[in-house]
Amino acid sequence: MNGTLINDTFSGRELLIYLPPSYQIGRKRYPALYVHDRGDLFDPGLSDSLEIIEHFCRRGEMPELIMIGVASEDRENEYTPFPQPHLKKTDHTYGGNGAHYAEFLARQLKPFIDRKYLTDGSRENTGTIGKSFGGLISMYTAYLEPQTFGKIGSLSGSFWFKGMIEYMRGRTFLNPDLRIYMDVGSTEGTDRDNLQKEMIPRTKEAFRILSESGLSGEHLKFVIDEGGAHRFERFAKRFPEAVKWLFADSRPFLSQQSTE
């Protein structure tokens, strides 16, 4: 790894910040990607995905970018869009506080990051991505905070979650430059006997809804990972390609503002 990792905090929440190799050389400002689950998808202690991303950058296949790993206080509460009974714990519920979390990202955390780090800050160069419930909340955030996030990544998003497909139906995106990446493993849900058995068909349905909502093929990508199960190692393997596709049309720009 040639970039820098920084442990930071905001409002009592842990952040893992990745700064690219050229950070503070010249007057560049960079695209920014907010990664749920404290950035586990790019944490070099968990996979080699960050090395692959840096390799893509060196080859000019994508721009350097800043990544912000955002820890969750309670992912089954923050990453779910609506309250629902828990699939496995009869005495628990999914909290459904996704709207509050999306608002926190867009209106509290992002302004803090834009002040402290050399981010571009524009909607078209700001994204959010996650896996499983993190992929679900990324898609929900696309609907709630379209003025903030122009790039959305959903790796094996939990579209089986009751109410999400219905929520997506009838809603359109007014911003033609929105880019959405989504994927799913070809074996996901096949070993389940609850709502999660609908993982693949509901993900395909979500893609169909997005395809019919006005997003062109240039701005919408769907990948089926043949043989892929709902496992972290599969998510991390797909993460670099997802990030490259989302940001391939972005470039850092020279800031006219002081970087002091």
Q: Return the pLDDT at 249.
A: 80
Q: Return the pLDDT at 259.
A: 38
Residue 223: strand, helix, or coil: strand
Which two three-digit tokens encode residue 111?
A: 């302004």
DSSP state, 236? H
pTM of the predicted model, to two decimals? 0.94
Q: Return the pLDDT at 255.
A: 55
Task: Find out whether 50 and 18 touch, Cβ atoms under 8 Å.
Answer: yes
pLDDT in tens, 162-176: 999 999 998 887 676
Averaged pLDDT of the chain? 93
Q: Return the pLDDT at 254.
A: 58
Pairwise CA distance, residues 107 & 240, whole Å: 27
Longest CA–CA separation in the chain, Å: 57
- Residue 79: pLDDT band (50, 70, 90) is very high
Position with higher pLDDT, 137 vs 194: 137
Which run of H or of E encompasses 126? strand 126-131
Give start and end residues of each alpha helix (H) in the chain.
36-39, 49-58, 75-78, 98-104, 110-116, 133-144, 164-168, 199-211, 232-247
- Residue 257: pLDDT band (50, 70, 90) is very low
Which two three-digit tokens encode residue 27?
A: 């007057």
Which two three-digit tokens encode residue 150?
A: 């122009």
Task: Find out whether 46 and 232 touch, Cβ atoms under 8 Å.
Answer: yes
Pairwise CA distance, residues 239 & 50, whole Å: 9
Pairwise CA distance, residues 249 & 178, whole Å: 12
Domains and CATH numbers, the chain: 4-254 (3.40.50.1820)
Q: Return the pLDDT at 89.
A: 79
Chain position carrying tokens 């997005």: 210
pLDDT in tens, 6-37: 999 999 999 999 999 999 776 789 999 999 99
Which two three-digit tokens encode residue 114?
A: 């834009």
* 68 pLDDT higher than 60: yes
* 195 pLDDT higher than 60: yes
pLDDT in tens, 85-143: 998 877 789 999 999 999 999 999 999 999 999 999 999 999 999 999 999 999 999 99
* 70 pLDDT higher than 90: yes
Task: Find out whether 142 and 181 touch, Cβ atoms under 8 Å.
Answer: no
Position with higher pLDDT, 93 vs 252: 93
Q: Return the pLDDT at 155.
A: 98
CA distances from 160 to 80, 163, 251 (A): 11, 9, 35
- Strand-pair partners of 200: none
Q: Return the pLDDT at 109.
A: 98
Which two three-digit tokens encode residue 122?
A: 């524009």
Give start and end residues of each alpha helix (H) in 13-163.
36-39, 49-58, 75-78, 98-104, 110-116, 133-144
* 256 pLDDT higher than 60: no
